[in-house]
Structure 1
């Protein structure tokens, strides 16, 4: 039976340590997971670079769409440099055109900057109007994998598309299901033949200090990576 790898997305030091403790095979390192993930801080990158598990930094300078101008692309290049200097194994990239097709020119520039680093294409892929064409673009650009929910809100809902993508990709790159992947939903995804899955392995926790909530410093509840959840999902793979 082929071993399926577990990538865990985290956005703070506690989550990073919990993912490592739980046995994650790889870390997707972010800030602001509640916004879909933004570029992590330099300090968090440096901490991850000292961990015994490979980490890929999300390179996304702001929330919202994935249409980036020259100023933002230059920022992203600097963020790739920071990830390299921190000793991270790779980066997670994505960029769109106004029609939601992949911005191949922008991605070529970013992948060139990330030469000799691992490269994941993120869920900007889930916006594209033609997944088969976008898959070919990703392969041409040298991505190792595509993180995707199959174009749906969750990977479970995108199961049919993920199955087709795995078939189309073959051995050329990995299709990594992500979004809503839990112990309860992972089974059918494993049946598609994927070799890795992406999950937050998180639990909901309340903010105990009401003053922080009142002043806008913290939400009512937050998601926190849980080592036991990581361990349980890893065992299921």
Structure 2
């Protein structure tokens, strides 16, 4: 089983590498579900990991739903080309149609531009599949398109709740597509994910940092949220996740 950590900073990438993650999903604005990272963030993250793990940037040009306009798709095509040119090991993409089915036209275009830019790059379909009306049909399309993996919570709010569906996904894919469990995943879920045949798990491993003082002036927040708060990758959580994955991997070998 592999361990992937979602990170939003070069420091988080370095922490994940130091604590033994196999791969990172790099994005910005994780609190909005994640959007495409900047050129500088990718370059700095590649420097921080120094070849110790794979870096897979999310390609999502805006937050919100996964129904993308032609202009949105064009934007993400440019982002894919640029990110792979800078040295990303793969990209994380996804798109749905207005009826909730997989947007085959956009998804195929993403696949084609990845192969044109780097035939060895990996392609992950993100949790848009959990918003689809028929995830098994979407899975079949991804198998046909030759995707590397899919990140999913099993069509539920959390991967733990979606375990029965995740198990069906594994059986349905038959090893031709890596099923990676993610979305509300806890460390306690990892043994069950491994037992169900999942080949990878995905966590954000984040904690919130705040420098709020009584005199802090709000910069536009209207919901009472802490205007100084931001998230960082928590070293201890990554370390604990690595230990949990190592434990189930060792159990399989013995």
TM-based fold match above 0.5: yes
- Post-superposition Cα deviations, 1:178-215, rounded to whole Å, max 9, x if no partner, equal 01122223222222111111011122333435666612
Stretches of structure 1 that go unaligned for 5 or more consecutive residues are none
1:45 aligns with 2:42: yes
Whether the 8 Å contact between 1:48 and 1:88 is mirrored in structure 2 is no
1:56 corresponds to which residue?
56
**Structure with larger Rg:** 2
SS at match of 1:102: coil
User: C-alpha separation between the residues in 1 aligned to 2:195 and 2:214?
Assistant: 45
What's 1:103 paired with?
Answer: 103
Could you say which residue in structure 2 is the equivalent of 1:31? 28
The number of aligned residues is 234
Q: Is the 8 A contact 2:66 2:95 kept in 1?
A: yes
| 1:203 corresponding residue in structure 2 | 207
Structure 2's unaligned 5+ residue stretches are: 246-254
What's the CA shift string for 1:111-169, capped at 9, x where partnerless? 11111221000011001111211110011111110100011111011111101101111
Q: Report what 1:132 is aligned to.
A: 136
**When the two structures are superposed, what TM-score results if normalisation uses the length of structure 2?**
0.87
Q: 2:219 maps to what in 1?
A: 215
SS at match of 1:9: strand
Which residue of the other structure, out of 188, 191, 194, is the alignment partner of 2:192?
188
RMSD: 1.7
Residues 11, 45 of structure 2: 8 Å contact kept: no
1:6 is matched with 3
1:164 and 1:75 map into 2 onto residues whose CA distance is 34
Determine the structure 2 residue equivalent to 1:172.
Answer: 176
